[in-house]
Amino acid sequence: MFVGIDAGGTLLKVAYREGEKFHVRKYPIAELEGVAEWVNGLENYKVCVTGGKSGVFISHLQKEAKEMVEFEATHRGVRFLLGRMGRTDTDYLITNVGTGTSIHCIHGDSHERLGGTGVGGGTLVGLGYLLTGVRHFDEIVRLAEQGSRERIDLKVKHIYEGKEPPISGELTASNFGNDLFSGAEDMPKEDLLATVMGLVGETVSTVSVQTARQCRSNTIIYIGSSFHENDLLKEIVVSYTKLRGASPLFLENGEFSGAVGAMISLESKEKETKI
């Protein structure tokens, strides 16, 4: 069995095959020792580990493991998942929205990290908690979907009140920039969390489109655990990406790209050995 592990700052993701069957799982990073124990209990396995906590994970393994640079693993994983969708794209931008956001330019087999932003899933959970006291990601997503940003964000139409603005009036001029000095204490949690979601989605998509021009690519592939069952964040990212002239794409199981890439590297090595 080939097992790929992506040990990140918040989550630990696993990809493996049993025969022709492909499996993915994820766990809180606090369960790292339990996942390592599961790996140690496997028979006839090879494991490759990537991510910021890869060294910690490997220290709990009883068998030698291969370690892989996270960016390379993500690149391989995205290419594999694109193929499973029947796509043959070779030039694109990858925006990986995990705890923070990392952006990579892909041209064929070459890849380069062009930058990123500290705004990501960690911002959503951290700022959401500070504003509302809600601490769990799933609950933040659920409440945000019920909220409105109308009272909190300052839109272009608010600035150009009484006249036609030169750009879409629905664009955000300033996140959390509306007049909040009256009635801020009565702001519903749903509205506050929806506004945090808007801040994250608009920042990520804006930075991605600007970077895509540097990459000379029109396709932006968005991956990362922040998008898991988070339709609101996807909607915001899609809207802003298209508005700025780029094409957004979400991969099925995209959040597991690093773990999948680690697994694929083992399979490729095995094939090379047999040739």
User: Which residues are tagged catalytic?
Assistant: 70
Q: Are the beta carbons of 208 and 103 closer than 8 angstroms? A: yes
Dmax of the chain from CA atoms?
Answer: 72
Residue 230, number of CB atoms within 10 A of its CB? 25
Helix (H, G, I), strand (E, B) or coil at 105: strand
Q: Are the beta carbons of 242 and 249 closer than 8 angstroms? A: no
Report the number of secondary-structure helices (H) and strands (E) in the chain. Answer: 9, 12
- Give the strands of the sheet with 11-18, arranged side by side: 21-28, 11-18, 2-7, 46-50, 66-67
Residue keyed to tokens 């809207």: 239
Q: Are the beta carbons of 80 and 268 closer than 8 angstroms? A: no
**Backbone torsion region of residue 116, taken as left when φ is above 0, otherwise alpha when ψ lies between -120 and 50, otherwise beta:** left
Residue 227, number of CB atoms within 10 A of its CB? 19
| Interatomic CA distance for residues 18 and 161, integer angstroms | 61
φ/ψ (deg, to 5) at 106:
-115, 125
